[in-house]
């Protein structure tokens, strides 16, 4: 057909509509369709051409700092030197990444970058996985013309408790400093000085104490930043690795777990688009140290001399006996099982089958009395991506920075880059308060009132009516029953039809455990109920599956009475926790990195767990232990391998139909599960909050990222980061108590009294007292009465 004939033909209906977002370019002579606004470096990558880079990072704003990505690009005005990480594609742009000119520029940049680089690769942690090494090999000139003396600095200096900086190696790419400012919001490192003496540095005496500092080590394109837990431990080529999911909290960051000689040595973040974007928090990144510290390596049974090591057969026989005796004494409902949130879906499922089908008790629960009722999972659920894409995020839960750190990063990003608005209800200033559009600080118990007031505010009402609203709901105060928060969420959802909920449940696999069955059957008790029953002498056998009520249940006194009142205790745990020390039998459980399986994060996303090292001692995965106990009790659960359990979950658990091994293998980002229909929505709650006596302070107890929990206290690099227990009062209240900040005061509740140091803290509401939970040497749990709606304390000068 000739052109003239063609011109007269009317366009047919099925002619492709030109995509307004398509931009035609060529990369090294090959035609490619890029997206409008796309950076040249990205478009080239899509076309299969890798442009070398140091400062560019897909998850951060490009800054064009290193010039390594220079290419030759012609957008119609002749070839020009172009910084491909800063310049978007233009129609008909011709990009040359390998032309003589481009090569010359790349070689020149590398020669300059190396002018001051010490090239101490043999003693550098990064050697073997170093972008500077790699790109020098692929794009470098091979030889340098520089003969001058290089810059010298003191070899690594600590810039925080976890990170060391070797300024000689730094190529000033601005990745770490950009991350600190833009992603983490902790601009505690910055370029100092200029010219030849420019260096990354902290302010004197203000270390880079960010919860996210480990990410800078991962993204540093040279060995300038190294992490204390990994320094000089291995060379990259000695490492074996497997992809897994961090189960330290419920965000479920994707990670690659690396080991050498059967020892876990490092975790690195993996970029999962719907979840963590490659980031991890330092607790999740460095907490692997706990896997090799102070483990229970063999089964223990109680004898006249205390807990004594024994073999598996004997220990399993005792465990079975304890459960059978318990049933015999007062029927199956005298047995209760708490836990399952720290393991895999498989662990929880096997234990749920054992508890419900074999032991036949209704009293099973995966939460530790520090979350919201399981019925929260029945609310219309949002994913993390839904949350980031909402117009409004309502925070009615814990301080995300402290409890779900990488979710905090995602929400922070949504606010900063997408201008999502946060409406926050919190008992004290949180990590997101400074970014919140509206922040209501309420006195414990006052959240319902605060929500009603917000709904009545025309400006907030308009904002909530304007578009998608996601409520991040969780427990914001351990010294308060969950009732008021549940009522506040219900009030909010009633006022904002169409709002969805992202459950801010905290423990690693708590959503998975609850969904696959570690929850009470009708008539069953929750953890508080179980502990109360045990304290009342009604529990003949208490089984703790990776659960430590003494450390985690907010009301320590009740936990203590429960462990004393339970006639028999079986503990399955990785470490000999405070509660496990009260057990009659302790069965050693395999830990993170020692077992495979799947896990479910707070949005219901199921991802895989990788097994990289041999389990400590003779420890076994929880699911295997459950299977063995079931066999002892006369039932074959039918699980021969972890895959059998994964398959059984897909077959039997409502909401996990799609979560097959094939589906998991096919999807890098995991598969979303749905809450089982049998989880009933929570009936409307109405709490009556008692009036506060004006002499008293209403207690706020929250978690800090670093505490006295198993992960932190057994990770030598992290343990000393726990801030310790203090009571924080508004400065005017400190005055009212009549002491100087830093003095010891007596804090007494109806339960008990404790002496601790007082801190003047203007972020605390007047009339409230804030104390961090489960800190080393702390005892705030003694003050909390879990039956009360709120806990009031008196604070006195000693």
Partner 1 sequence: MARLNDDNVRLAHEIISRYPRRRSATIPLLHLAQEQDGYLTDDAIRHVAELVGATSAEVLGTATFYEMFKFEPVGTYLINICGTMSCALMGAGELMRHAEQTLGIPVGGTTPDGMFTLEHAECQAACTEAPCLQVNYRHRFRVTPADLDRLVEDLRAGRLGAEIPPHGTLARVRQSIPVESAAGAVTPEQAGAPAWFPAKDPA
Tokens of 64: 């064009």
Question: Which residue from 64, 236, 375, 741 is in contact with ligand FES, where contact means CB under 6 A?
Answer: 64
Position among 109, 113, 251, 700 found at the interface with ligand SF4 (CB under 6 A): 251
Q: Could you tell me which stretch among 185-193, 419-427, 455-463, 771-779 binds partner 1 (CB under 8 A)?
A: 185-193
Cα separation of 554 and 702, whole Å?
10
Residue of the chain from 4, 12, 193, 196 that contacts partner 1 (CB under 8 A):
193
Q: Which of 32, 40, 65, 245 binds ligand FES (CB under 6 A)?
A: 65
49, two tokens: 């051409």
Size of the site for ligand SF4 (CB under 6 A): 26
Cβ atoms of 564 and 593 closer than 8 Å:
no
| Residue 435 interacting with partner 1 (CB under 8 A) | no
- The span of 243-251, 528-536, 558-566, 743-751 binding ligand SF4 (CB under 6 A) equals 243-251
Residue 431 beta carbon to partner 1: minimum distance, rounded to whole angstroms: 15
270 touches ligand SF4 by CB under 6 A: no
User: For residues 309 and 475, is the Cβ–Cβ distance under 8 A?
Assistant: no
796 binds, among ligand FES, partner 1, ligand SF4, none (CB under 5 to 8 A by kind): none
| Closest CB 572 distance from ligand SF4, rounded Å | 22
Query: 53 vs 620, which CB is nearer to ligand FES?
Result: 53
Interface mask toward partner 1 for 203-242; x: CB under 8 A: xxxx------------------------------------
Q: Tell me which of partner 1, ligand FES, ligand SF4, none is bound by residue 68, counting a contact when its beta carbon lies within the kind-specific cut-off of 5 to 8 angstroms.
A: ligand FES
For the stretch 132-136, contacts whose Cβ atoms lie closer than 8 Å and that sit 24 or more positions apart, written own/partner, are 132/54, 132/171, 132/221, 132/222, 135/52, 135/54, 135/68, 135/110, 136/110
Minimum CB distance to ligand SF4 smaller for 175 or for 575: 175
Nearest-angstrom CA–CA distance, 533 and 379: 29
Helix axes 312-330, 622-632, angle to 10 degrees: 60
CB pairs under 8 A, 24+ apart, for 737-744? 737/795, 737/796, 737/797, 738/797, 739/797, 743/797, 743/798, 744/798
Decide if residue 184 touches partner 1 (CB under 8 A). no
Span near partner 1 by CB under 8 A; candidates 26-34, 108-116, 184-192, 368-376: 184-192
The CB-of-101 to ligand FES minimum distance in angstroms stands at 17
Q: What is the dihedral of CA 723, 729, 735, 739, to 10 degrees?
A: -40
Residue selected from 41, 201, 420, 591 as contacting partner 1 according to rule CB under 8 A: 201
**Binder of residue 187, out of ligand FES, partner 1, ligand SF4, none (CB less than 5 to 8 A by kind):** partner 1
Distance CA 190, CA 176 (A): 9
Residue in 652, 679, 711, 669 with CA at minimum distance from that of residue 346: 652
Q: Which is nearer to ligand SF4, 179 or 639 (CB)?
A: 179
By CB under 6 A, residue 68 contacts ligand FES = yes
What 8-state DSSP symbol labels residue 443? Answer: -
Q: Over 671-704, what HEC string results? A: EECCCCCCCCCCCCCCCCCCCCCCCCEEEEEECC
Least CB distance from residue 199 to partner 1, whole Å?
10
Q: Please count the residues of this chain forming the interface with partner 1, following the rule CB under 8 A.
A: 16
**Would you give the DSSP letter of residue 445?**
T
**Nearest residue (CB) to ligand FES, 65 versus 381:** 65
> Of the candidates 174, 526, 594, 603, which one interacts with ligand SF4 according to CB under 6 A?
174
Q: Does 153 bind partner 1 (CB under 8 A)?
A: no
715's CB contacts (< 8 A; 6+ apart) are 229, 286, 287, 288, 289, 290, 293
Q: Are 556 and 781 in contact (CB under 8 A)?
A: yes
Given ligand SF4, partner 1, ligand FES, none, residue 83, with its beta carbon under 5 to 8 Å by kind, binds ligand FES
Q: Would you count residue 56 as binding ligand FES (CB under 6 A)?
A: yes
The candidate with the shortest Cα–Cα distance to 55, out of 34, 79, 83, 80, is 83
Determine the Cα–Cα distance for residues 751 and 503; give it in Å rounded to an integer: 31
Among 280, 372, 420, 464, binds ligand SF4 (CB under 6 A): 280
Q: Is 190 in the site for partner 1 (CB under 8 A)?
A: yes
Which residues lie below 8 Å from residue 462, measured CB to CB, with a gap of 6+?
A: none
Can you count the helices (H) and strands (E) in the chain? 25, 34
Tokens at 784, concatenated: 């909390």
Q: Following DSSP, what letter does each residue of 572-625 receive, concatenated?
A: EESB--TTGGG-SEEEEB--TTS--EEEE-TT-EEEEE---SPPSTT-B-HHHH
> Which of ligand SF4, ligand FES, partner 1, none has residue 178 at its interface (CB below 5 to 8 Å by kind)?
none
For residue 194, state whether it binds partner 1 (rule: CB under 8 A).
yes
Contact indicator for 587, 570 with CB cutoff of 8 Å:
yes
Q: What are phi and psi of 183, to 5 degrees?
A: -90, -50
Among 220, 301, 355, 729, binds ligand SF4 (CB under 6 A): 220
Piece of the chain touching ligand SF4 by CB under 6 A; list 7-15, 244-252, 380-388, 486-494: 244-252
**Residues in a beta bridge with 792:** 698
Binding ligand FES (rule: CB under 6 A), the pick from 23, 27, 39, 53 is: 53
190 touches, from ligand SF4, partner 1, ligand FES, none (C-beta below 5 to 8 Å by class): partner 1
Site for ligand SF4 contains 172 (CB under 6 A): yes
65 interacts with, out of ligand FES, partner 1, ligand SF4, none, CB within 5 to 8 A per kind: ligand FES
- 300 in contact with ligand FES (CB under 6 A): no
Q: Is residue 737 within the footprint of partner 1 (CB under 8 A)?
A: no
Burial class of 141 by CB neighbour count within 10 A (0 to 12, 13 to 18, 19+):
middle
* Binding map of ligand FES across residues 83-122, x = CB under 6 A, - = no contact: x-x-------------------------------------
Q: Which is nearer to ligand FES, 52 or 185 (CB)?
A: 52
- Residues found near ligand SF4 in the complex (CB under 6 A): 170-176, 200, 220-222, 224-225, 246, 248-249, 251-253, 276, 280-281, 283-284, 405-406
- Residues found near partner 1 in the complex (CB under 8 A): 181, 186-194, 201-206
- Residues found near ligand FES in the complex (CB under 6 A): 53-56, 64-69, 83, 85
């Amino acid at each position: 057909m000739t052109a003239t004939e063609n011109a007269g033909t009317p366009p047919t209906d099925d002619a492709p509509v030109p995509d307004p977002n398509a931009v035609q370019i060529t990369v090294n002579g090959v035609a490619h369709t890029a997206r409008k606004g796309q950076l040249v470096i990205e478009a080239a990558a899509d076309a299969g051409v890798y442009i070398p880079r140091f400062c560019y990072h897909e998850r951060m704003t490009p800054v064009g700092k290193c010039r390594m990505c220079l290419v030759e690009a012609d957008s119609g005005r002749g070839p020009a030197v172009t910084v491909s990480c800063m310049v978007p594609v233009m129609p008909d742009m011709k990009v040359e990444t390998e032309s003589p000119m481009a090569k010359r520029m790349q070689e020149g940049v590398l020669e300059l970058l190396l002018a001051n680089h010490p090239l101490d690769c043999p003693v550098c942690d990064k050697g073997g996985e170093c972008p500077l090494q790699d790109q020098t090999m692929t794009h470098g000139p091979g030889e340098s013309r520089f003969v001058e003396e290089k810059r010298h600095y003191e070899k690594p200096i600590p810039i925080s408790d976890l990170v060391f900086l070797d300024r000689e190696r730094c190529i000033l790419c601005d990745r770490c400093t950009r991350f600190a400012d833009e992603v983490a919001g902790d601009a505690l490192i910055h370029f100092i000085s200029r010219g030849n003496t420019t260096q990354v540095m902290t302010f004197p005496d203000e270390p880079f104490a960010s919860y996210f500092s480990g990410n800078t080590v991962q993204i540093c394109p040279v060995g300038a930043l190294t992490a204390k837990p990994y320094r000089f431990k291995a060379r990259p080529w000695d490492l074996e690795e497997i992809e897994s999911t961090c189960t330290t909290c419920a965000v479920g960051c994707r990670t690659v777990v690396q080991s050498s000689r059967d020892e876990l040595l490092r975790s690195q973040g993996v970029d999962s688009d719907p979840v963590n974007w490659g980031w991890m928090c330092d607790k999740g990144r460095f907490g692997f140290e706990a896997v090799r510290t102070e483990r229970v390596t063999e089964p223990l049974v109680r004898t006249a001399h205390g807990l004594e090591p024994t073999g598996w057969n004997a220990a399993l026989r005792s465990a079975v006996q304890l459960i059978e005796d318990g049933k015999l004494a007062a029927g199956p409902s005298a047995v209760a099982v708490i836990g399952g949130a720290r393991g895999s879906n498989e662990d929880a499922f096997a234990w749920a089958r054992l508890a419900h089908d074999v032991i036949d008790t209704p009293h099973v629960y995966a939460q530790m009395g520090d979350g919201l009722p399981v019925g929260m999972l029945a609310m219309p659920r949002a994913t993390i991506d839904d949350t980031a894409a909402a117009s409004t995020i309502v925070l009615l839960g814990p301080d995300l920075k402290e409890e779900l750190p990488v979710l905090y990063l995602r929400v922070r990003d949504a606010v900063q880059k997408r201008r999502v608005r946060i409406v926050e209800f919190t008992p004290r200033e949180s990590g997101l308060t400074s970014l919140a559009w509206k922040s209501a600080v309420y006195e414990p118990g006052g959240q319902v009132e605060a929500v009603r007031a917000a709904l009545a505010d025309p400006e907030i009402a308009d904002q909530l009516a304007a578009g998608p609203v996601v409520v991040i709901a969780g427990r914001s105060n351990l010294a308060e029953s969950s009732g008021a928060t549940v009522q506040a969420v219900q009030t909010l959802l009633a006022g904002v039809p169409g709002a969805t909920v992202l459950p801010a449940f905290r423990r690693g696999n708590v959503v998975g455990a609850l969904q696959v069955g570690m929850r009470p059957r009708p008539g069953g008790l929750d953890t508080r109920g179980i502990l109360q029953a045990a304290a009342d002498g009604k529990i003949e056998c208490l089984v703790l599956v990776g659960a430590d009520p003494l450390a985690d249940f907010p009301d320590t006194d009740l936990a203590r009475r429960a462990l004393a009142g339970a006639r028999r205790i079986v503990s399955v745990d990785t470490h000999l926790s405070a509660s496990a020390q009260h057990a009659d039998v302790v069965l050693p459980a395999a830990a993170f990195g020692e077992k495979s399986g799947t896990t479910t994060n707070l949005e219901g996303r199921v991802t895989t767990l990788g097994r990289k090292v041999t389990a400590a001692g003779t420890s076994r995965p929880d699911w295997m232990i459950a299977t063995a106990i079931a066999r002892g009790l006369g039932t074959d659960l039918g699980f021969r391998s972890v895959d059998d359990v994964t398959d059984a979950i897909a077959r039997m658990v409502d909401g996990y139909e799609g979560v097959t091994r094939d589906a998991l293998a096919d999807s890098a980002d995991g598969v979303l599960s749905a809450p089982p229909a049998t989880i009933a929505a929570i009936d409307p709650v109405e709490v009556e909050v008692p009036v506060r006596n004006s002499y008293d302070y209403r207690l706020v107890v929250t978690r800090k990222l670093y505490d006295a929990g198993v992960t932190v206290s057994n990770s030598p690099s992290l343990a000393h980061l726990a801030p310790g227990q203090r009571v924080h009062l508004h400065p005017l209240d400190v005055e009212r108590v009549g002491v100087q900040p830093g003095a010891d005061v007596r804090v007494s509740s109806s339960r008990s009294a404790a002496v601790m140091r007082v801190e003047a803290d203007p972020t605390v509401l007047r009339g409230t007292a804030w104390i961090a939970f489960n800190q080393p040497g702390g005892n705030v749990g003694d003050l909390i009465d879990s039956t009360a709606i709120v806990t009031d304390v008196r604070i006195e000068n000693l």
